[in-house]
Amino acid sequence: MALVRAADSQTSSVSSTSRYCRYHVFLSFRGQDTRKAFTDHLYTALVNAGFRTFRDDDEVERGEGIKPELQKAIKHSRTSVIVFSKNYASSRWCLDELVMILERKRISADHVVLPVFYDADPSDLRKQTGSLAKAFARHQKTQPSNKVKEWRKALKEVADLAGMVLQNQADGHESKFINKIVQVIGGKLRRRPLSVPRIMIGRHSLDLVNKLNLWLQDGSDDVGILVIYGMSGIGKTTIAKSVYNSNFGRFEGSSFLENIKEVSQQPNGLVQLQTQLLSDILNRRKMKISSVSEGLTEIEDAISSKKVLLVLDDVDHMDQLDAVFRMKDQFYPGSKIIITTRHARLLRAHQVTKMHKVETLDDKESLELFSWHAFGQDHPIEGYVEYSQKIVDHCGGLPLALKVLGSSMYLGDSIDVWKSALEKLEAIPNREIINKLRLSYDSLQDDHDRKLFLHIACFFIGRDKDYIVKILDGCDFYTIVGIQNLIDRCLVTIDEFDKVHMHDLIHGMGREIVCQESNEPWKRSRVWHHKDSFKILMEKNVRNMRSLYTYMFFFL
């Protein structure tokens, strides 16, 4: 299959867990052993730390099976903490809970199970000796053999998980042990896979993902910085999230700062980003920073003490990149930094050696991605192939457009509706796609570059670069540097024959910006369509002709 389902099983589990999560922690324990002492103290510490924690307070003898509310609590919890006490295995209800918890972990890869050994030896679980041997001797007499076999398997499985052991209860370390459990749970809850679109990566991007994974796993002590760049909607963030999900567990700390450009422009936005970064790396639920300078000091201290994976998504300003490079020497050896951006020149200014451009999807991948969103399968259904292909052609291999338009088409609609929708799309661009693509236009440094972009979009697509320079330099533009700025923003490209091109959707976005200036074509800054030209000729008097000659000049 051409497309990769980015972190498919992992992603689906993340979305289902986050959508229905009722508890942060499910606390499993044998009540007679620890309910009024250790487990009660642990429960209080978890609640005080802000974690929604479920424990079964029912002292009444249970029936033959686990109560429905316990089943729901396990299903809708993000982590399970299992307190193994000396007589844990003597309770068949505890063993049934354990089986269900491990089943939850198998279904949802991001469900964390933390074994806590209180007055119990982990080796007893693995070898099933000591008090466990006595408990199972009794179970053999009263329980079905398949049930006993299931319990034994579950105990061996949980014994192989990374757990926590209280070495000595009598030396006053129990409170410290509980605090450590709370810290570990906090770290587990914060360090979770990110939600990634189920399908959004093509073969070229898969190769890039593989390269990034190898880079992150190379074992080097160098502090590495790598940049992913490309036009809006091409899938940079999706690729970065997929790589992050596969590798964050290899690092002592990790943080994915999304939409940096947007967040940094908000009031106190930089402090907000610094707070998130520190909370992520230090696994703290609450951080207080009063200023950017204070945040920098705290960040330098945090990144110098542990190997971290940091992803900076949508970096758009030189100051943002400068800050990263100034702190590069402060990072702990082996730390890695991934940056996504639409602005390639930022990277050249710092001579970044590891730069990877994200390319558009090919025709086969595009049709497959569109089909998943439109039909729920990797190909169009019979009767819709022709118009599906036409919509795909309109998208030009841009994943965002394929996803948006695929999701907007309804399978139950007739072919005539699809045909009409395509005709409308060619005349009126999709607003969601235009708004996304316009981010690069809006971020151009001045009106000069924005006007230059609109001139090229309206009149010069496919023209020779020297021809465009000659014409626009005569209109008081600084065309050579302006075109380079557009290239750096991934808005235009120059082919091997020195012709200037744009992605069709960016081309359409530019013309749509002009159309939005007025409903009346003679009130717009540019006119390129022959119907609008004739409308001006027919409806306006000769006083408008001078303006028309200016518009028509660009056709010559």
Pairing of strands 336-341, 224-229: parallel
Structure tokens at 134: 């006595």
- Residue 452 one-letter amino acid: L
- Residue 477's SS3 state is coil
Please provide the DSSP assignment of 346-391 as one string.
HHHHTT-S-EEEPPPP-HHHHHHHHHHHHHSSSSPPTT-HHHHHHH
- Quickly tell me which residue has 């994943």 as its tokens: 399
- Catalogue the E-assigned strands of 470-548: 493-494, 500-501
Structure tokens at 477: 């533009």
Under 8 Å between Cβ of 520 and 451: no
CA distance 138 to 156: 19
Pairing of strands 500-501, 493-494: antiparallel
In 3D, which of 458, 487, 489, 493 has the Cα closest to residue 472?
A: 458
Q: How many C-beta atoms surround the C-beta of residue 65 within 10 A?
A: 11
Residues 518-546 pLDDT 10s = 888 888 888 888 788 777 777 665 444 54
Question: What is the predicted pLDDT for the residue at 64?
Answer: 47
- Alpha carbon 164 to its chain centroid, in Å, reads 31
Please provide the DSSP assignment of 54-107 as one string.
E-----SPP-SS--HHHHHHHHTEEEEEEEE-TTGGG-HHHHHHHHHHHHHHHH
Question: What is the predicted pLDDT for the residue at 7?
Answer: 39
Question: What is the predicted pLDDT for the residue at 510?
Answer: 92
Question: What is the predicted pLDDT for the residue at 294?
Answer: 86
Q: Which residues contact 318 (CB under 8 A, 6 or more apart)?
A: 346, 349
Active site residue 386: no
CA distance 137 to 122: 19
Total count of residues recorded for the chain: 556
Cα Rg of the chain, angstroms:
30
- For the chain, residues with pLDDT lower than 70 are 1-20, 57-66, 109, 167-172, 191, 198-202, 284-286, 347-353, 411-412, 539-556
Q: How many C-beta atoms surround the C-beta of residue 278 within 10 A?
A: 21
Rounded alpha-carbon distances, angstroms, from residue 356 to 220, 303, 340, 475, 503: 20, 25, 10, 36, 19
> Alpha-carbon torsion 169, 171, 177, 178, what sign?
positive
In 3D, which of 117, 123, 114 has the Cα closest to residue 165?
A: 117
The CA dihedral of 83, 89, 92, 93, to the nearest 10 degrees, is: 0
Residues 310-356 pLDDT 10s = 999 998 877 777 777 778 888 999 999 999 998 877 766 565 668 88
CA distance 507 to 174: 66
Catalytic residue selected from 59, 97, 150, 386? 97
Structure tokens at 243: 């790589």
Please provide the DSSP assignment of 88-157 as one string.
GGG-HHHHHHHHHHHHHHHH-TT-EEEEEESS--HHHHHHT-THHHHHHHHHHHHS-HHHHHHHHHHHHH
Question: What is the predicted pLDDT for the residue at 199?
Answer: 60
**pTM of the entire structure?**
0.69
Residues 196-252 pLDDT 10s = 776 655 677 788 888 999 999 888 888 988 989 999 989 899 999 989 988 887 888
Question: What is the predicted pLDDT for the residue at 421?
Answer: 87
In 3D, which of 19, 14, 30, 23 has the Cα closest to residue 46?
A: 23
CA distance 204 to 400: 16
